[in-house]
Amino acid sequence: MDVTIFGSGYVGLVTGACLAEVGNRVLCIDIDPAKIDLLNQGGIPIFEPGLAALVERNRASGRLTFSNDPAEGVAHGLFQFIAVGTPPDEDGSADLRHVLAVARTIGDHMDAYRIIVDKSTVPVGTADRVAAQVRESLTARGAEVEFDVVSNPEFLKEGAAIEDFMRPDRIVVGTDNPRTGELLRALYAPFNRSHNRVMLMDIRSAELTKYAANALLATKISFMNELSNIAEAVGADIEQVRVGIGSDPRIGYQFIYPGCGYGGSCFPKDVRALERTARSVGYQAELLGAVEAVNLRQKEVLFAKIRDHFAGNLSGRTLALWGLAFKPNTDDMREASSRRLMEALWQAGAKVRAFDPVAMEEAQRLYGDRPDLTLVQDPLDALAGADGLVIVTEWHQFRGIDFTAVKTRLKTPVVFDGRNLFDPRQVSASGLTYYSIGRTPTTPA
């Protein structure tokens, strides 16, 4: 099938590459000429495991092409995917300017039936606004062209997006036209062979499903972080509590790991947007507000532990920081806990020596050259001259560290673990003071 994707960022590029991989002819449109040039030269603008090879293979075969000509995109595909950003507005609601701009573009150039697919994460009612914008553009041209608008939210995890797309848990399609639903079912047939994963529903329910999924996962994280603070205060071990409650099949082990707060492009934005949607219809979503408040507070926990350990005097100290991305297997630092921590340390007069396997360029882009930030190419190099080690992202390579080597390199033998990667007794046996989340700090015997 012929497919057009508007937006060549994370969702658009993964969607386009995966649809091309199963034989579709995909044209990705983006208004950023530098991004299109990079893609046409064989590069990709984001880090996602396996994506570079997938894009290059399909680009070389001719199934995946890139352009900044929107008219070409509208002419190309029966399916017109909208996969542009919906950043949070000042009041927390989703900013739909880019989505509606694409809708306007489609209406300006469309001369045959098109299925417009909202792939971006958008509030309930967006499909109606997209349809209205397309109709307005058609009317301005004096044209009458049939089209349908479909909600088809993405459920991609950064770091595992290709696997999620190629072997999905579910494919949600919101439509009010049965014919359109069958066309989407045909498009997704290659990803739907072992059993039916396509879930057809009305458009508004599909739009809400995406927000509901992310809000529920964020709620589990914030609830566990709330419990971790209680556990630490009463002398319990949150990791033992986690195992105890996770064994209940009604709860399970997923998304109940305590830590130093969630980040990224989805959970923070989507929780706020859903809470804003509720307010717009006169409902006060108190739980969603609490989820966000707990997460913001949790991002301050590591700094508080560091400040208290050094008796409030951080001026002139240096902290080694392992992990900049908001989660492993991505270079995404949007709303990452590392950012909140580094900025608090700088404000307190401390310096940071940081390492991340893939997010170093992103950190350089965000913060530039500054005297209180040193980006190093090896995790052990970050420890040189540091007063303590802070672990913020749970990269696998950090799990097998040599604590003796860590102690040897640190000026002050202390570790602050924001992801509970280690057994406290093992760390303290190596001569290190160890702080974690929801557990009593341990000191060398």
Q: Quickly list H helices, 22-160.
A: 33-40, 51-61, 70-76, 97-109, 126-141
92 backbone φψ class: left, alpha, beta (φ>0; ψ -120 to 50): left
Q: How many C-beta neighbours within 10 Å does residue 269 have?
A: 23
190 backbone φψ class: left, alpha, beta (φ>0; ψ -120 to 50): alpha
| CA dist 439 → 134, 239, 422 (Å) | 55, 8, 11
- CA-closest candidate to residue 410, choices 438, 434, 389, 437: 389
Q: Which two tokens stand for residue 38?
A: 């990079």
Q: Which two tokens stand for residue 435?
A: 């702080």
Cross-strand pairs, 433: 414
Q: Which two tokens stand for residue 95?
A: 């900013």
The residues assigned a catalytic role are 266
Q: CB-side exposure of 359: number of CA atoms within 13 Å?
A: 28
Do the beta carbons of residue 119 and residue 11 sit within 8 Å? yes
Residue 160 is classified by DSSP as: S
Rounded distance between C-alpha atoms, residue 343 and residue 365, angstroms: 15
Do the beta carbons of residue 175 and residue 184 sit within 8 Å? yes
* Interacting residues of 428 by C-beta distance below 8 A, sequence separation 6+: 434, 442, 443, 444, 445
Cross-strand pairs, 417: 391
Helix (H, G, I), strand (E, B) or coil at 390: strand
Answer positive or negative: Cα dihedral of 410, 416, 422, 425: positive
Q: Give the phi and the psi of residue 95 in degrees, each rounded to 5.
A: -85, 115
The single residue listed with the structure tokens 């305590």 is 258
